[in-house]
Structure 1
């Protein structure tokens, strides 16, 4: 079946700050120690206004969800606190789910995350979804948490968050990193027992195992397609071991997309922005390594690299398109490609990265409207044909 029943379509924005100095290539890294004197508050205000309007447009066009995420000490993202962006979106949107992809659970106080996410869920009337990353190595250079303890902290923080959401308080928690005499959050989540939860990673076996243990969804980032498919296969197998069944909506696929008049011109129009993303915004220099962030076995497996070579590495447009879910072309080309990827992964959650690098507003709007008015209807029509029954589509 090409497009699974109940497939949902999300729009994801990274919100970068791209008003950077002309000599930006002279800097070894745009993460952690890139001087914040280069931030212009007036330019930042304009970026926020523009980027929020693009996500609000996605809701108005009928996308099923919008995604925001969190990074620190970098112009790569203007979202050091993704919950604030989510709160700004709630009163400006009506139907779209808001997926916060998200604060690393071990880098904050878990009761604070539990109560802030519960508050967002109540404010939105149950439209919140949450994805917990471990955080890139760069986040651990930017915060005071020892990366050696990052995975243990993440696991215990998730224990606290889920208990806070699902158990009537006050309750006690006595752990290695967190202790509460009165865990008793107000408010509790709107959705019962709690909002949909995913883990986000780059293929680490430890993260996949944690998702499998808890029956959470899982999404790979900055990993080649083959690596992502292998991770999803492992997740399903390990989750079954723990008595969980992973459903198609728990394994979202993320696609970089751009829609143009024809395939050739669309590729040419998309390429410089993807190049800027991979060669400038993701350049992390020595901060790509954080001692203790990976287990020794995983560190050896990755040849001493914390993240895949695409992260801030050399740019090969052909290789990028071969290894990752990157597509530019006519609406039909994009629809055909997305259909193939969705069928291959067995996923019913398609996340479109609608903005890349320094892409201008008009290109984002063109892609959003092309997806909403042409690509998604094509895919829904094929879904109806494949399933041979009417659909209850949230965007309609």
Structure 2
């Protein structure tokens, strides 16, 4: 844990002094992180989701393939049928797209076909400051790297690649993914219409985070997404959309507030709130469509500018976090997923400065008292889930044809 005044003197990414860290605490944090994910797998969760943030003190996950590989092996060894979902390898920053394709293919192989492949464009500070990518290259590099990876997974014979950022005489990865022609692909974004449109055009899932306050951002981001779905001529299948939501569950509402308040404030004040806003919006990193959307209405970013100093009560009021008894949490989550047609809820149950036991209790209570009652939210509409591993009940489409027609399950 950092000093109480950390956010007044330091940023949480790029240049955070390592001298503030205790290596023993860092080692324990990694073990607790993996133990929490394995507890979730043993407790009946459908999947395990984790992120990528390099040179960041608030989320030490420079390469989520490491976490994915560990979980793929451990869950397969224990017979735990859960999806393995690294929400990122940021493709806008990588100079090694072949390695990314190989790593994900290996993870899909070890897990027996349970990978969900997350590919965010990438945070500007990470791509441009940490990795030296020119800002104007961020989006086109992502586009090219993604196209290359998808081709690497689907083709059975070697091919040459002559792109703007990679020139490769022979591309022939070993192994190929178990899931054919490819694992489900998911994009995480903050509401850029171009990212949403790509998800629709290529039949990817789209994931959004609650951090900026769903009370403000939810109607804008999700209503925009479903309007694009309508224009695209696709059905409003809720399973094409995901939400990552910070959640704290305790016996009563009062107990939950008391237990989670300091850890929620620690997460937001010393984590995303302590990233300088100018490093998240470096000129040139946002394409024209996204820039136009921001200029028309900057409320897409919600309470982002306040996160360094914001308090618990406002975070709850704005929907950045949901905290309470099992009944309170369930009611609020059902309200959110129904209002915005969210078919994949990613509950963030291990966050901030939470001690190990509190995180484990949060995971366990959510699994026993909330999760079972959430499963049937969309059963009445009987949709197929096309963005989920087939081994786990997903119904993949023939993505090679680009088919968009779909109806309710029969």
Partner Cα separation in structure 2 for residue 24 and residue 92 of structure 1: 36
1:49 matched to 2:28? The reply is no
Match of 2:385 in 1: none
Aligned with residue 287 of structure 1, among 279, 283, 286: 279
> Contact conserved, 2:221 with 2:300, CA < 8 A, in 1?
no
Structure 2 length as normaliser, TM-score?
0.83
> Contact conserved, 1:213 with 1:239, CA < 8 A, in 2?
no
Partner Cα separation in structure 2 for residue 142 and residue 304 of structure 1: 28
Match of 2:158 in 1: 170
Tell me the CA shift for residue 347 of structure 1: 2.2
1:353 matched to 2:348? The reply is yes
> Contact conserved, 1:169 with 1:185, CA < 8 A, in 2?
no
Partner Cα separation in structure 2 for residue 275 and residue 170 of structure 1: 51
Match of 1:103 in 2: 89
Unaligned runs of 5+ residues in structure 1 are: 1-17
Q: How does 1:199-278 map to 2 (within 5 A)?
A: 199-221=187-209, 222-225=211-214, 226-239=216-229, 241=231, 245=235, 247-278=237-268
Q: 1:190 to 1:355 in 2, by over 3 A?
A: same
Number of matched pairs: 372
Q: Which moved more, 1:59-68 or 1:34-43?
A: 34-43
Partner Cα separation in structure 2 for residue 53 and residue 112 of structure 1: 27
Q: 1:304 to 1:232 in 2, by over 3 A?
A: closer
Partner Cα separation in structure 2 for residue 159 and residue 153 of structure 1: 10
Partner Cα separation in structure 1 for residue 249 and residue 342 of structure 2: 22
Tell me the CA shift for residue 150 of structure 1: 0.6
Partner Cα separation in structure 2 for residue 301 and residue 141 of structure 1: 28
Q: How does 1:289-308 map to 2 (within 5 A)?
A: 289-295=281-287, 296-298=291-293, 300-301=295-296
Match of 2:328 in 1: 333
Cα deviation per residue 1:40-60 (whole Å; 9 max; x = unaligned)? 333221111111111100001
Tell me the CA shift for residue 158 of structure 1: 0.8
Unaligned runs of 5+ residues in structure 2 are: 383-390, 394-410
> Contact conserved, 1:220 with 1:228, CA < 8 A, in 2?
no
Tell me the CA shift for residue 105 of structure 1: 0.9
> Contact conserved, 1:203 with 1:223, CA < 8 A, in 2?
no
3-state DSSP of counterpart to 2:99 = helix
Q: Higher RCO, 1 or 2 (CA under 8 Å, sep at least 6)?
A: 1
1:376 matched to 2:382? The reply is no
Q: Which moved more, 1:272-281 or 1:303-312?
A: 303-312
> Contact conserved, 1:202 with 1:223, CA < 8 A, in 2?
no
3-state DSSP of counterpart to 2:304 = coil
> Contact conserved, 1:289 with 1:306, CA < 8 A, in 2?
no
Partner Cα separation in structure 2 for residue 287 and residue 219 of structure 1: 22
Tell me the CA shift for residue 190 of structure 1: 0.6
Q: Which moved more, 1:64-73 or 1:239-248?
A: 239-248
Cα deviation per residue 1:162-210 (whole Å; 9 max; x = unaligned)? 1111122211222222222211111000111111111111111222222
Match of 1:138 in 2: 125
